[in-house]
Structure 1
Amino acid sequence: MNIHEYQAKTLLKSCGMPVPEGHVAHSAAEAKDIARSLPGDVFVVKAQIHAGGRGAGKYVGEPATGGVRLARSVGEVETFACEMIDRTLVTKQTGPEGRLVRKLYVEAGCQIGRELYLSLLVDREKRRLTIVTSQDGGMDIEDVAAKTPERVLTASIDPGMGFQEWQARDLAVRLELRGKQIRQFIQVLRAAYDTFTTYDASLVEINPLVVTKDGDLLALDAKMSFDESAFFRHRDLEDLRDENEEDPREQEAARFGLSYIGLDGTIGCMVNGAGLAMATMDIINAEGEQPANFLDVGGGASREKVAAAFRILLADPKVEGVLVNIFGGIMRCDVIADAVIGASHEVGLKVPLVVRLAGTNVEEGLTMLKESGLPLIVADDLGDAARKIVAAVRSGRKS
């Protein structure tokens, strides 16, 4: 689960992270009142959406640009807020459809001396929490790593020892921080680490972490993601969820306990087991098409759960064909067949459907499919299924 910048800063601040003073606004009038309460006469107005690249973003059908605006008066804060709120902001991470800006974050401005990058994430190869930092803040770290990899610094945290100040001190020196800035960097990294481990985060990113003209470190932007598997320990984090920022298909899938991730392709996939789902997606790619989703119904899904998964697939307007690939161990093939038949009749099957079944009660399942009267295609194995759904989709485009 992702959260907004203002929410991430609240969590980080509670663990000792230095952040600018700011508050969230839901209207231009509220943004103006917040600016009046902040110190100084320079303010930053930020669109709150779950996407990066806000500063270079553009609004659909509007002349105003930029999801991050620098205001030099309270009046400008109100003007910018009017131009930003309730507008659709398009960034390189939102796709062309953009995201509707429902709230803004208004915070006190600062004089920036340098911009650094800092993040904590899980390195799955090393099986350790890893610190990533760079002198090139305010940029996409992927671009920095691709063009100047030597400027990206990393350090792994031993899970038995936890965060060590010497690691922060070493990184601070390599970032060319001096004097009090080294002590502040240790505080910043400690706060990021404590926030990460306290809330079972999967990512804590501060970009940029700035050195002000006064020589102080300040987290100017923040991004956090969480491992939802740990939410039973953090019920309060559920309150930070903004469903307006989430894919409605993923919300529907979550209600039924389905593992679903929407993608950009045209072939919907329903599979039981994460490994089999990945293999199915790979073989569709190998046949020259793209999967529209990752969808794992699990090993022991009920008829209702499978039917819900099928409805989600068919409701996606990008889907030009559906591939059902089930290996029945705990999951029975006749249950899958019954659910697919029921959902197809309920929703209406308007795209090609290829079904590959193997395992428990496979003969019963195949008999049910053949006698259903549905215009579906039965496949013998995964390769056969991928070839058949790709051929059917391409044939549909020509007709």
Structure 2
Amino acid sequence: MDIHEYQAKEILKDFGVTVPAGGLAYSPEQAAYRAREMGGDKWIVKAQVHAGGRGKAGGVKVCSNDVEIQEAAASMLGKKLVTHQTGPEGKGVYRLYVEAGVPIDREIYLGFVLDRTSQRIMIVASSEGGMDIEEISEKKPESIVRATIDPAVGLVEFQAREIAFKLGIEPALTQHMVRTLMGCFRAFRDRDATMVEINPLVVTTDNRVIALDAKMTFDDNALFRHPQISELRDKSQEDPRESHAADRGLSYVGLDGNIGCIVNGAGLAMATMDTIKLSGGEPANFLDIGGGATPERVGKAFRLVRSDAKVEAILVNIFAGINRCDWVAEGVVQALRDEPIDIPVIVRLSGTNVEEGQKILAESGLPIIRASTLKEAADRAVSAWKGDKANKVEVKAV
């Protein structure tokens, strides 16, 4: 789960990380009022969306007076912000963060991520802040500093000091940097985060280390331990299909193809999508119904996939271990009887109670296309999709 910049800064502030003064605004007038509250002669108006690259897309503007603040706010609120991370559809801007300007001397990149290879939290930092880490890695790889954290002891001060030295932090500011690193680590660990990124972390001309931006992502499976984090969720920033699925205990990722996929297990989902591609089709989604594929759960999955107007065929691919093929078959049959659909449905079952499942499908009287192997299922799905599409075009022409 992602959260907004201002929310991430509130969390990091509680762990000792220094952030600029700022306030939330929902209108141009409120944005100007927030600036007057803070005082000063320079303010930054920031669009609050779950995406990076806001500055290049016009979502971050520096202002010097009330008029400029209100104009900047009016140009963002209610609009779609399109960045390299949002895709062409963009994300809606419904709130702004107005922040006091700070005198910047230098910018640093700082990130905490889970490294799957070492199975540890990894710190990735660079003395070249203000750019995306991918851009830094390409243009100035020698500036990147990496360090892994031993889970038995956590981040210790000597390790934090070593990172500060490698980043060229002045001795007088080393302890400030250590406090920032330790605070980020504790926030990451104690809130079950999967990413903490500050870009840029700035050193100011008056010798302070300040988080000028902040992003945090959390482990969805650990949110039950952190109700205060769950409350920060902003569904307006999520794919409505994905949030709808998450609320019903399903894992869903929307894609751009035409063949909907209902599977159990992430590995099987990846294999199914790859095989569809190899057969000449394009998957429309990644939908994992998990280990408890009851008929009701399968029905919810069907309704979710069918709600996507781009879906022109549905492939159900289940390998039953904990699941049972007869449960899945009952769910498919019930879903199609409750809400008949006019697109091809292809079902491949394997594993526990597969004979019973196949019998249920065969005796249902429904036009379900059955397959024995994944390759056969993908081939039949692509063939049925292309044939159905051709038939509809022909009928339309007539």
TM-score, structure 1 normalization: 0.93
Q: SS of 2:55's equivalent? A: helix
1:395 Cα deviation from its structure 2 partner: 3.7
Is residue 159 from structure 1 mapped to residue 160 from structure 2 by the alignment? no
Q: CA deviation at 1:397?
A: 4.6
Does structure 1 residue 125 correspond to structure 2 residue 117?
Answer: yes
CA–CA distance in structure 2, aligned partners of residues 372 and 148 of structure 1: 62
Correspondence for 1:47: 47
1:33 and 1:393 map into 2 onto residues whose CA distance is 56
Alpha-carbon contact 1:43-1:107 (below 8 Å) kept: yes
The answer to whether structure 1 residue 353 and structure 2 residue 348 are counterparts is: no
Partner of 1:267: 259
Distance 1:181 1:351, change over 3 A: farther
Cα deviation, 1:53-73, whole Å, max 9, x if unaligned, reads 11122xxxxxxxx11011011
Letter in 1 for 2:93: V
**What is the distance in 2 between the residues matched to 1:290 and 1:366?**
26
SS at match of 1:257: coil
Runs of 4 or more above 4 Å deviation:
396-399
Asked if the contact 2:293–2:324 (Cα under 8 Å) also holds between the matched residues in 1, the reply is: no
Task: Give unpaired runs (5+ residues) of structure 2.
Answer: 394-398
Match for residue 168 of structure 1? 160
Q: Give the structure 1 partner of residue 396 of structure 2.
A: none
Q: Distance in 2 between matches of 1:157 and 1:190?
A: 11
Distance 1:288 1:164, change over 3 A: farther
Give the Å deviation of 1:288.
4.0
Q: Deviations over 1:364-395 (max 9, x none)?
A: 32233233343332111011111221233334
Instruction: State how 1:138-217 maps to structure 2 within 5 Å.
Output: 138-217=130-209
Partner of 1:370: helix, strand, or coil? helix
Q: Matches of 1:323 and 1:298 in 2, distance apart?
A: 16
Gaps of 5+ in 1: 58-65
Residues 1:371 and 2:363 are matched in the alignment:
yes
Match of 1:98 in 2: 90
Q: 1:148 to 1:291 in 2, by over 3 A?
A: farther
Q: Following the alignment from structure 1 to structure 2, what is the Cα–Cα distance between the partners of residues 245 and 374?
A: 39
Name the SS for the 1:30 alignment partner. Answer: helix
The question of whether the paired residues in 2 share the 8 Å contact of 1:2 and 1:241 is answered with yes
Query: Do residues 108 (structure 1) and 97 (structure 2) align?
Result: no
CA distance, structure 1, for counterparts of residue 224 and residue 85 of structure 2: 30
Instruction: Please provide the CA RMSD for this pair.
Output: 1.7
- Partner Cα separation in structure 2 for residue 270 and residue 392 of structure 1: 17
Equivalent of residue 226 in structure 1, options 218, 221, 236: 218
Q: Write the letter of the residue equivalent to 1:322.
A: I
Shift of the alpha carbon at 1:396? Answer: 4.2
92 and 350 in structure 1: CA distance in 2 versus 1, 3 angstrom threshold:
farther
SS of the aligned residue for 2:81 comes to: strand
CA distance change for structure 1 residues 352 and 238 in 2, over 3 Å: closer, same or farther? same
Paired residues, number: 391
Q: Who is 1:38 aligned against? A: 38
Question: What is the deviation of 1:237?
Answer: 1.1
Instruction: Classify the secondary structure of the residue corresponding to 1:305.
Output: helix
Q: What residue identity is the alignment partner of 1:47?
A: A
Q: Which residue of 1 aligns with 2:328?
A: 336
More displaced stretch, 227-236 vs 275-284: 275-284
Counterpart Cα distance in 1 of 2:239 and 2:223: 19
Deviation at 1:114, TM superposition (A): 1.5
Query: Residue 242 of structure 1: CA displacement?
Result: 0.9
- Whole-angstrom distance in 2 between the partners of 1:150 and 1:92: 25
> Cα 1:113–1:266, aligned 2, differ >3 Å: closer, same or farther?
farther
What is the TM-score normalised by the length of structure 2?
0.93
Cα distance in 2 between the residues matched to 1:267 and 1:165? 52
What's the CA shift for 1:160?
A: 1.1
The alignment-based identity, stated in percent, is 51
Distance 1:286 1:348 in 2: 29
Moved more, 144-153 or 34-43: 144-153
Return the alpha-carbon distance in structure 1 between the equivalents of residues 36 and 68 of structure 2.
12
> Which residue does 1:60 correspond to in 2?
none
Cα distance, 1:183 vs. partner?
A: 1.7
User: Which stretch shows the higher mean deviation, 313-322 or 39-48?
Assistant: 313-322
CA–CA distance in structure 1, aligned partners of residues 255 and 51 of structure 2: 16
Letter of the 1:377 counterpart: I
Instruction: Write the distance in 1 (CA, Å) between the matches of 2:256 and 2:102.
Output: 40
Residue number in structure 1 paired with 2:17: 17
> CA offset at residue 123 of structure 1?
0.5
Q: Write the distance in 2 (CA, Å) between the matches of 1:77 and 1:337.
A: 59
Which secondary structure does the structure 2 equivalent of 1:54 belong to?
coil
Matched letter for residue 369 of structure 1: L
Q: Distance in 2 between matches of 1:274 and 1:99?
A: 27
Q: Distance in 2 between matches of 1:68 and 1:290?
A: 36
Q: Secondary structure at the match of 2:109?
A: strand
Structure 2 Cα separation of the partners of residues 395 and 209 of structure 1? 56
CA apart distance, 1:113: 1.9
* SS at 2:286 equivalent: strand
